[in-house]
Amino acid sequence: MPSYFVLLPGDWPGAATAYLCRPLIGPREGRSPLMPWLAVATGVEDGLYTLVAREGVNTADPAALRTHIEEARADLAGRAPGWDVAEKSGFLFKKPSLVRAIVPIQDRTIPTLDLMDDLSSELIVSDAAMAGAAAALGARELIAVVPKRGWLLVAPGRPGDLPQMRRMHEAADGIHGRAGEQAITPLSFFWRDGRLAGFNQMDASGGSLQLIAPDETSWLL
pLDDT reported for residue 17: 75
Query: How many whole angstroms separate alpha carbon 182 and alpha carbon 8?
Result: 9
Query: How many whole angstroms separate alpha carbon 118 and alpha carbon 2?
Result: 16
pLDDT in tens, 170-214: 999 999 999 999 999 999 999 999 999 999 998 767 778 999 999
Q: Which of 8-17, 23-32, 112-121, 190-199 has the lowest mean pLDDT?
A: 8-17
Contact 182, 150 (CB under 8 A): yes
Which sequence spans correspond to the domains of the chain? Answer: 4-219
- pTM for the complete prediction? 0.93
Say whether 118 sits in a helix, a strand or coil: coil
Determine which helix (DSSP H) or strand (DSSP E) holds 196, and give its type and residue range.
Answer: strand 195-201
Query: How many whole angstroms separate alpha carbon 207 and alpha carbon 77?
Result: 33
